[in-house]
Copies of this chain bind each other. A is one copy, B any other.
């Protein structure tokens, strides 16, 4: 049996691996989970003992297959919960993350299955993030890329808004940046800020680099393949 905290570490390592392709460093995990480095080190010891991470001292960790499966299970729970809360319990897009974060460790296989049934086996959550399938096979890397990769004049469709901060998400929703909307890129500033026009709102919206980075979009043509 794994503790909630261990599941959180595995999930964090998984998410960090999606971003970098490199071994994950102690300090990155510490920052992600808001704990100190020594705490991370000692937890990595335990995860290594259980065969959930591959570790090279002083050089970071990667998940083993088993560790990845656990991470995918937790993420499946999380995203199913987010979807269920928005669709059946009237939750707002911005507030589901926190609730799902607490519940994800405490639902049974049975609960997971019933929620998935109620939603008709969904494949994405309300933020456009892919929900791992029930078999917990590592999912494909999704289409599209960060909106920061595009240029003035490009027209793109928002695929995913991966930010976890409720305030940021509320702001984005208010300014028409949600999965499914069309954005026309107006400007990409040298310091990374993206300004765009949403098909959903009048006026424009500007996103600092740190926010824009979490907005994954695809060119319409790319989608049709």
The residue that A99 contacts in the complex, of B90, B95, B99, B111, with Cβ under 8 A, is B111
Q: Are A108 and B102 in contact (CB under 8 A)?
A: yes
Cross-chain contact A110 with B106 (CB below 8 angstroms): no
Chain A residues touching B, majority SS: helix
Chain A residues proximal to chain B, CB less than 8 Å: 88-91, 95, 98-99, 102-103, 105-108, 110-111, 114-115, 117-118
In the complex formed, the residue of B with least CB distance to A104 is: B106
Closest to A98 in B: B108
- Cα A99 to Cα B107 in complex, Å, equals 7
CA distance A102 to B108 in the complex (A): 9
* Residues in chain B near residue A111, CB distance under 8 A: 89, 99
Q: How far is the CA of A99 from the CA of B112 in the complex (A)?
A: 11
13 A-B pairs with C-beta separation under 8 A: A88-B88, A89-B114, A89-B115, A90-B114, A90-B117, A91-B114, A95-B110, A98-B108, A99-B111, A102-B108, A103-B106, A105-B106, A106-B106
| Docked CA distance A107–B105 (Å) | 12
Which residues of B sit under 8 angstroms from A99, Cβ to Cβ? 107-108, 110-111
Q: Which of A88, A89, A90, A108 has the most CB of B within 10 A?
A: A89
Q: Which of B107, B114, B117 contacts A103 (CB 8 A)?
A: B107
Contacts of A102 in B (CB 8 A): 106-108
Once bound together, how far apart are the Cα atoms of A70 and B167, in whole Å?
A: 31
Interface centre among A103, A117, A118 (most CB of B within 10 A): A103
Which residues of the other chain, B, contact A98 by a CB distance below 8 angstroms?
108
How many Å from the CB of A81 to the closest CB on chain B? 10
Residue of B nearest to A84 (CB): B89
- The distance in angstroms between the C-alpha atoms of A91 and B113, with both chains bound, is 11
**Chain B residue at smallest Cβ distance from A101:** B106
| A99→B113 CA distance, assembly (Å) | 13
